[in-house]
Amino acid sequence: MSMQKSTSKRNIILIVLGAVLLIALGIAAYLYFTPKTATTEPDTTNYAPPTSEETKQGQDIKKQIVEEDLSKNEQADTPKKTFSQQITTAEKTDGTLYVRNEIAGVYQSGTCTLTLVNGSKTVKKTAGVQALAKTSTCKGFNIPVSELSSGTWDLILSVTINDMTADDTAKVAL
């Protein structure tokens, strides 16, 4: 009777030790296969599988891309007749008046004309158009404030691309 009891007890000990060993192997495997960063900083990268929210967002993005792609393909042969642009920056900083805009559409060329009016004074600047990732912008305008007198200036930015023109206005106080 006592020999059977000791054998059973030994098996239980072996099983527990085996379980602990396997868990430890799992941890060791994770640590081994988790790559270390090249720097001495702690690696904060999340190597876990994506969460359901992350995955769903990715699927939603894909759906939208596909919809846009399919709808754009239908428009592919229809030339654009209009475009829009907005002044995004009109501010004086460190002695320079920065005027920037954003043009809807990706264009490699075009003409931007910035007209600044303050009473009887008028200053005109021109620049080309630069393509960005999804929009375009005028290549300018950094105007030294010394070229302009103090007061409130009316800005008219006119962009011409492929015989299309779009204007936007702003005011800036100097």
**Which residues within the stretch 110-169 sit at the binding site for another protein (CB under 8 A)?**
130-135, 137-140
Q: Residues 6 or more apart from 76 whose CB is under 8 A from it? A: none
Shortest Å, Cβ 3 to another protein: 16
Size of the site for another protein (CB under 8 A): 77
Give the SS3 label for residue 172. Answer: strand
> What are the CA-CA distances from residue 92 to residues 56, 95, 150, 168 (Å)?
44, 7, 11, 18
Show contacts with another protein in window 39-78 (CB under 8 A). Answer: 39, 41-51, 53-63, 65-67, 69-70, 72-73, 75-76
Among the listed ranges 29-37, 118-126, 144-152, 159-167, the one in contact with another protein (CB under 8 A) is 29-37
Shortest Å, Cβ 149 to another protein: 21
Cβ–Cβ under 8 Å, residues 138 and 128: yes
Nearest-angstrom CA–CA distance, 18 and 25: 10
Cβ–Cβ under 8 Å, residues 107 and 161: yes
Q: Which of 9, 13, 30, 151 binds another protein (CB under 8 A)?
A: 30
Nearest-angstrom CA–CA distance, 148 and 171: 14
Which C-beta is closer to another protein: that of 60 or that of 147?
60
Shortest Å, Cβ 121 to another protein: 23
- By CB under 8 A, residue 13 contacts another protein: no
Shortest Å, Cβ 87 to another protein: 7
